[in-house]
A = this chain, B = another copy of it.
Amino acid sequence: MNSDPEKAVVLLSGGLDSAATLAIARSEGFECHTLSFKYGQRHGCEIEAARKVAASLGAAEHRVVDIDLGAFGGSALTDPAIEVPKNTPDLDHPSEIPATYVPARNTIFLSYALAWAEVLGAFDIFIGVNSTDYSGYPDCRAEFITSFEKTANLAAAAAVEGKGSYHIRTPIMDMTKGQIVETGAKLGVDFSLTHSCYDPDRQGRSCGRCDSCRLRLKGFAEAGLEDPIEYVTHNG
């Protein structure tokens, strides 16, 4: 009798969405193998946050893969020549794809997760994409995830050999930011370890003004909870 828990690969950025996603995967009984990326992002303190969140939520193993997305340029998150947008007028309904969009980011992240899942013998891949509060990134939408899942099942040896089917799990896809904070809090996420800011200062303090900070603060406000991290400016 095999009573070992099922394995899952969980993409972990160090932000609150992926922390809540990891907590959900754990609550479903998965042995979680967490995966983070160094991709030339300005906000490198994400990496340290991801490591702490993984340890705090009992991940079986945490890996950081170094990928040089900055080599291609094209995003405010990896290219110093492009400014991180602040105070976007209507955060809930962005009229165009944000400058913080990183070309093919989630496609690349999910491809690496698939590679690791194949080697681990895992069939579940968790990713903390969310379309409700932030529909500006095309590769955060359900249509993209569904299509990637289909592609994965055509790409991977174990699926083609009939050993199982890969599932790309997006448990927070339809939650509001407030619901994500609430769910994470219930499942024991220590939000003081998480990092969301696109443009932190040298001490790692969050700016409070970039889209990511504002969404985070909105989430805590909706959930009626205090955000435990430190901000440089905070008009909340």
Pick the contact of A71: B65, B71, B105, B143 (CB < 8 A): B65
Taking the closest CB of chain B, its distance from the CB of A106, in whole angstroms, is 7
Task: Find out whether the CB atom of A157 lies under 8 angstroms from the CB atom of B138.
Answer: yes
Q: What are the residues of chain B within 8 A of A112 when measuring CB–CB?
A: 104, 108
Q: What are the residues of chain B within 8 A of A160 when measuring CB–CB?
A: 97, 138
- Chain B residue nearest to A97 (CB atoms) is B157
Q: Is A232 an interface residue (CB 8 A)?
A: no
Interface string of A95-124 (1 = CB under 8 A from B): 011000111111110011011101100000
132-184 of chain A: CB within 8 A of chain B: 138-139, 141, 143-144, 147-148, 150-152, 154-157, 159-161
Q: What are the residues of chain B within 8 A of A138 when measuring CB–CB?
A: 154-157, 159-160
Distance A160 CA – B111 CA, assembled complex (angstroms): 20
Pick the contact of A103: B67, B144, B157, B161 (CB < 8 A): B157
Q: What are the residues of chain B within 8 A of A204 when measuring CB–CB?
A: none
Taking the closest CB of chain B, its distance from the CB of A158, in whole angstroms, is 9
Pick the contact of A115: B108, B144, B152, B155 (CB < 8 A): B108
Copies of this chain present in the complex amount to 2
Interface of A is mostly: helix
**Residue count of chain A within 8 Å CB distance of chain B:** 44
What is the interface of chain A, defined by CB distance below 8 A to chain B? 63, 65-69, 71-74, 96-97, 101-108, 111-112, 114-116, 118-119, 138-139, 141, 143-144, 147-148, 150-152, 154-157, 159-161
Distance A155 CA – B112 CA, assembled complex (angstroms): 16
A-B CB contact pairs (8 Å), 30 listed: A63-B71, A65-B67, A65-B68, A67-B67, A69-B115, A73-B119, A74-B119, A96-B161, A97-B160, A97-B161, A102-B115, A103-B156, A104-B114, A104-B115, A104-B118, A104-B155, A106-B155, A107-B114, A107-B155, A108-B108, A108-B112, A108-B115, A138-B156, A138-B159, A139-B156, A141-B154, A144-B154, A147-B150, A147-B151, A148-B155
